[in-house]
Structure 1
């Protein structure tokens, strides 16, 4: 199943690279055809005497112990462990993601060899790289001293994840997803990337609620559930009861009844002081994406997940489609808060272990030995080779950098009032931006996201500030689905990152009814704000 997902992502990112490369093919393959072609080529390789054998790790091991601190005080942090660069180049993908305990420590058994630890606590902290060696039966101790390089959460903002799963989504509790992490492990995973709140949104049940609400050590737990319907997934945020979508069957399964059931559950969530949200509305699966016939009643929801962490944010992906649809809804005067959610089902980020090595092996054989397959396959192989050379590296970069749990954040302005209902109310009102790296704040005539600025002759004072640990390529202002202007005028390096500041006393907004901002450093360094409205 995970291999199918990997190929699905490969096909989604194809659109991005194809337009950049101005590339066309006589024969393109859909996901099923692509998998069948790979399997056929593997059989051709086997017939020619080439067999795939993933070498097991060595039998000699040692221990790595890590201590993460901030100002000599323990801090919960994330550590990505990479094999040495030579081995990484050979195997392409060698990530191990680990999370410290509350005291900032972790201990892991590793095969002997050379490694590098990449340690951080999210976008407001430095990222440090520590090389180390593992020797047989020895303990290697490394220290990671993290520094705070941004202070957004000290100025009324709070960061969190609204879409995360735990063991309560697994078959052990009547679910279908192979998730093994406990609520305690999920909480530490969120905190390791600088989050102060989180919603644990398991499928099918609310069994996690009691345990999740105990995760209150410098953290605000928000109770939630992801409701499965036959026409999409709905998030019930802030509701303790088990809201159930009753799927009509037989003659009762009419469009009208399906629509009415959506309306009923959203009304029930609201009556219980919750926030109804539509998740991943353009998901690849018919049963998990929002029914395209129901967009006329989208305002039954108060927020919309336009960025699902299980997929890159690149042209052609489900996220890019959701973003464009959200912009069109804003143009129609329909106001839903844009949110993000990691949709994490595995906090260790190792879903694709082994799969990348297999494709590397297969393509190495296919490119070196074209004689093993019939010439009728030439067009298919040319297309597959292009995907492998051009799209595959981009996808692997996303897997390594961004497909780790809770990488994307909802930054919500609460003015320091961080109880669950206060956070949810701020989300309802659109006082937020979403990001997997850049921190973007903006004001128009002193008014920020979710509020209304009064303009004079369509002009007003514009102030935008961006801080990012990595450089951004563009800073856009959107005032419509097809209306954007680049407003970035330069940057300056700060300790640990890059700052972008734009202040204009009289900016002409051209009669727009809203404006929002996007800091664009590619799919691995992106931030999107909610709009500022105009009167």
Structure 2
């Protein structure tokens, strides 16, 4: 955790006690603070108490999130407990409480001034479900999350509550080189993700994963908490000191072994955040190496979206998602040459579900000028569970087998807000459309609660059509795509307002 975030959490623990009572410690995600670090003049009994419940518009009690904002614009995210209640402990002052449940629900904001020692009750908050992707067969989840069993600050329980409070229907726990948290995590399969308007309960999918962490990249399994012995995935000193060309071959053998072993065990193998710096990145793009994997994480939620709106050519950690996307386009273009297909995945890589934010007062967030401004806007938006999500298409009842297959096959789109559903001649993302001529019909539907600027239709890495915003949060159209050739691929990319973004996996063309 960065020093800035540590300082904020120490402040926030005195400032709020992070909902100590009645919320299953779901937002108690800061570090322990010693008595020397807390002023002895501070009396926790003097804190104000704010209580209430959150419901759906149908009156069902649900797990929801609360973004607490003080007068200085500092924020952190708290959560209700599983029974929809919250119990906030706050220093005297004026606060905004933004009640939310992910980007398919409305946001309700309440402002309240509290005094020391007093208890306040906010009238029940009702969140409107504006979009129901689940009823359409699209299931939203987080594929990359950590707990304190590796380098996160939260318990498995904290992360489960955060998944539910963000409106997710599935989530993978992917701690670094350990399965210690998985027995706790899978208890989340007993919890309801949502209760629909007819009173039907839909259960959460708490699935097993693992982030295999090495000095030559990070790799992930979906569907299995497979732990490698360190000797299997580490370089020995004698190997590390070999000439670079020889060492590269040794490393490639080890990478192949990681991917093959995950797949032999029946799980899906992924390359994580390939353009991360230092040892966390990936540099061995040979077909016979990447063919040992099924998916690639082109959108890591620790950094802003790879939309390329500001200085996309900039090197360094800030633009890594954009470079991952461009490399993925190259991989897709090589499929027609016999290269492997890797489906795209997004994951938050969340190590702290509270997403603390201290505003940079030197930046005007209403006038974004460069990549640094854009990054600050991204930080203000919040590094929360499910942002971004991988939204998968499944038929019938949700099961782990269906979810993991959809991830592997690319029957999905990636988003931090805009929901983009589409098919070409009835085939959706990750599928193949067979045509006899050179044209096909695109059916497109968009929901973007916070608005959008444009939707781009991309063929073989190039934009061939742009649909401009109609000023609404919804857009529906059909469009005839011409000049199609065998083994072309097409996908959609949405540019939302602010840092809103979505990108789909491709639909391939087969011409007979």
Q: Same fold (TM over 0.5)?
A: yes
Task: Quote the offset at 1:294 in angstroms.
Answer: 4.8
SS in 1 for 2:116: coil
Aligned partner of 1:153 in structure 2 is 134
Total equivalences in the alignment: 435
Shifted more, 270-279 versus 235-244: the winner is 235-244
Aligned partner of 2:207 in structure 1 is 222
SS in 1 for 2:180: coil
Task: Label 1:296 to 1:265 Cα distance change in 2 as closer, same or farther (>3 A).
Answer: closer
Task: Quote the offset at 1:181 in angstroms.
Answer: 1.3
When the two structures are superposed, what TM-score results if normalisation uses the length of structure 2?
0.80
What are the residue-to-residue correspondences of 1:268-307 with 2, within 5 Å?
268-284=261-277, 286-292=278-284, 294=286, 297-307=289-299
Task: Label 1:264 to 1:392 Cα distance change in 2 as closer, same or farther (>3 A).
Answer: closer
Aligned partner of 1:107 in structure 2 is 87
Note if contact 2:448-2:496 (Cα within 8 Å) is conserved in structure 1: no
SS in 2 for 1:462: strand
Note if contact 1:200-1:224 (Cα within 8 Å) is conserved in structure 2: yes
| Aligned counterpart for 1:422 among listed residues 387, 402, 421 | 402
Task: Label 1:522 to 1:509 Cα distance change in 2 as closer, same or farther (>3 A).
Answer: farther
| Aligned counterpart for 1:62 among listed residues 32, 42, 48 | 48
Task: Quote the offset at 1:395 in angstroms.
Answer: 2.5
Task: Quote the offset at 1:255 in angstroms.
Answer: 1.8
What are the residue-to-residue correspondences of 1:17-416 with 2, within 5 Å?
61-70=47-56, 71-84=58-71, 87-88=72-73, 94-142=74-122, 143-169=124-150, 177=151, 179-216=152-189, 217=191, 218-244=203-229, 245-253=232-240, 254-284=247-277, 286-292=278-284, 294=286, 297-313=289-305, 314=308, 315=312, 316=314, 317-333=319-335, 334-350=340-356, 353=358, 360=361, 392-416=372-396
Note if contact 1:402-1:436 (Cα within 8 Å) is conserved in structure 2: no
Deviations 1:68-117 (A, max 9, x none): 10122111111101124xx43xxxxx002101111111111112121111
Task: Label 1:447 to 1:522 Cα distance change in 2 as closer, same or farther (>3 A).
Answer: same
Deviations 1:412-434 (A, max 9, x none): 01113422222111111110001
Q: Which protein is richer in helix relative to its size?
A: 1
Task: Label 1:430 to 1:80 Cα distance change in 2 as closer, same or farther (>3 A).
Answer: same
Task: Quote the offset at 1:389 in angstroms.
Answer: 8.2
Unaligned ranges ≥5, structure 1: 7-55, 89-93, 170-176, 365-386
Greater RCO, 1 or 2 (C-alpha within 8 Å, sep 6+): 1
Aligned-CA RMSD value: 2.5
Task: Label 1:308 to 1:111 Cα distance change in 2 as closer, same or farther (>3 A).
Answer: same
Note if contact 1:61-1:134 (Cα within 8 Å) is conserved in structure 2: no
Separation in 2 of the partners of 1:230 and 1:295?
A: 21
Unaligned ranges ≥5, structure 2: 7-40, 192-202, 241-246
Aligned partner of 2:34 in structure 1 is none
